[in-house]
Amino acid sequence: MSSVIDPLLSSPSAALWPFLPPHLVRTFALAYLSNVLVFFSGCKRYQKPVQRMWFLSVYASGAMTVCALPFFVDWLSNGCSMAAIKPRTALAETACVSFMAHLFADLSLGLIFYRDHLPLGWKWIHHSIFICLLSYTLSHGLSHFFTLGGMMELPIYVLFLGFLEPQLKSDYLNIGVLVTFRIVFNAILAAQFWLPSVQMLWVHTAPWWVCGALNTAIIPGHIWIMHRIVGRFLRERGEKRTARLAE
C-alpha cells in the first residue's frame, strides 16, 4: 500500500513544499493526524480553549524532549562535544518533521478551537519561521543538531503541564529547567556553533553560519520568557504574602 500512497503524496509535496523530502511526506501526514487525535482525546478533560492549546503543546514538547534525549546524552557524556553526537538520521528526521506537523496542527486547530489564543507574533510569525527553519534543516542534513536543541522544549512541557494540572505545578522547577535549558544550554550551543572546529561538521551541506545564527537569534526570546515567568512568580509570592498579613 505504501508503494502506491508514497508516490501520490510525494509529487504534490515536491511541487508545493520543495524543502520537505519526499520520503518524509507520509511521516508528516501521520504526525499531523496524531496531533489531531491527541487534541480531541483531551477535549473532554480540558474544556477551556486555552487548556486545549496547552494540552497540544504538552504533547508536542514532551515528544520532542524524548526524541532529543539520546542526542543530549551523546553531547553531555562526551564533555559537550558536538562531534560525539550520532546522527541517528531516522530518529532525527522523524522528530523534526513531527515538530513541523505540530506547528501546522497548532495553527489549523487553533483557528477552529482557540482562535482568541493565536496572537500574530507568538503563534503565526513564530510558527512560520520555525516551519521554514525545519524545512531547511531537513533538506541540509542538520536534523540531528536541531533535535539536540529539542531539549529546550523541556521547560515548555513542565510549564504547561503545571498549568493543566495545578497540583503538579512548581515555580522553582519551572524556573530551574527554564534557566538550565533555555538560557544556559542555549548559550552553550550558540557559542559552540560559532567555533570553526564545530562548523566543519556540516560545511559540506550548509553555510558555516547557519546553526550559530539560529541559536543566537533565539536567545533574546528565551530571556523574555524568563523575565515574564520570574515576574509572575514574584508577583504571586507578593500577593500570597499580602494575603497572609491581612488575615
**pLDDT for 26-43, tens place per residue?**
999 999 999 999 999 999
The pLDDT score that the predictor gives to residue 14 is 45
Percent share of the chain, pLDDT over 70: 92
Compute how many other C-beta atoms are within 10 angstroms of the C-beta atom of residue 235: 10
Total of domains in the chain? 1
The pLDDT score that the predictor gives to residue 15 is 47
Yes or no: say if 223 and 186 are a contact pair by the CB < 8 Å rule.
no
Cell numbers describing residue 92? 532525527
pTM of the model: 0.88
Domain coverage including residue 222: 2-246
Q: Over 70: is that where the pLDDT of 180 sits?
A: yes
Dihedral angle sign, alpha carbons of residues 7, 26, 135, 85: negative
119 phi and psi, to 5 degrees?
Answer: -65, 150
pLDDT band at 8 (very low <50, low <70, confident <90, very high): very low
Angle in degrees, CA 50, 54, 58, rounded to 5: 170
Give me the mean pLDDT over the 75-96 stretch.
Answer: 97
Give me the mean pLDDT over the 39-61 stretch.
Answer: 96
The pLDDT score that the predictor gives to residue 153 is 97
Cell numbers describing residue 185? 544550554
Distance of CA 186 to the CA centre of its chain: 13
Reduced to 3 states, what is the DSSP secondary structure of residue 75? helix
Distances from the Cα of 98 to the Cαs of 64, 125, 148, 194, in angstroms?
Answer: 8, 19, 15, 27
